[in-house]
């Protein structure tokens, strides 16, 4: 990603191609994995945003082949979004500082001083459930 994209905080991760693959119900996000093509393989991700959500959310299928979700805002510059780093087992802030975090949310490098708070995820059948409230 180029310098100007980082300067303006433009992330690489896009919303899901199938906007109907997810819904918010009773404090959780339910994602239909059969409709979420971006999560079919490790390294895939999408961002969820909208009025139905109390916060933006980044959902990834990590290099560890597990699903992870995070509030999609860097702890250094809160309005900046996060992107996965496929093949590296990390996520990174899209800003100039490029703070990096592991899948547990621990800060690994960059200007951020705080860790991320991952959201709880679980799979029920072919539905990925992301709990929006604190663990």
Residue 19 corresponds to which tokens in the numbers above?
Answer: 């906007």
On whether the CB atoms of residues 47 and 81 are closer than 8 A, the answer is: yes
pTM greater than the 0.75 cutoff = yes
- Tell the CATH topology of 3-124: Rieske Iron-sulfur Protein (2.102.10)
Question: pLDDT per position in the chain (135 positions), as tens?
Answer: 566 555 555 678 899 999 999 999 999 999 999 999 999 999 999 999 998 899 999 999 999 999 999 998 877 765 678 889 989 999 988 666 688 999 999 999 988 888 999 999 999 999 999 999 754
Give domain limits for the chain: 3-124
30-34: long-range pairs with CB below 8 Å, 24+: 30/127, 30/128, 30/129, 31/59, 31/127, 31/128, 31/129, 31/130, 32/126, 32/127, 33/123, 33/126, 33/127, 33/128, 34/126
26-54 as b/e: b if 16+ CB within 10 A:
eebbebebeebebbeebbbbbbbeeeeee
Residue 113's contacts (CB-CB under 8 Å, 6 or more residues apart) are 75, 76, 107
Q: Which residue has the tokens 């959310």?
A: 57
């Amino acid at each position: 990603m180029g310098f100007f994209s980082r300067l303006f905080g433009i992330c690489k991760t896009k919303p899901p191609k199938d906007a109907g693959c997810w819904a918010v119900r009773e404090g959780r996000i339910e994602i239909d994995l059969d409709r979420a093509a971006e999560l079919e393989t490790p390294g895939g991700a999408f961002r969820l945003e909208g009025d139905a959500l109390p916060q933006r959310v980044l959902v990834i299928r990590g290099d560890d082949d597990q699903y992870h979700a995070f509030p999609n805002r860097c702890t250094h510059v809160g309005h900046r979004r996060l992107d996965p780093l496929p093949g590296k087992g990390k996520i990174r802030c899209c800003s100039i500082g490029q703070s990096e975090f592991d899948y547990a949310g621990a800060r690994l490098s960059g200007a951020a001083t705080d860790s991320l708070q991952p959201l709880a995820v679980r799979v029920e059948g072919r539905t990925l459930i992301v709990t929006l409230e604190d663990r």
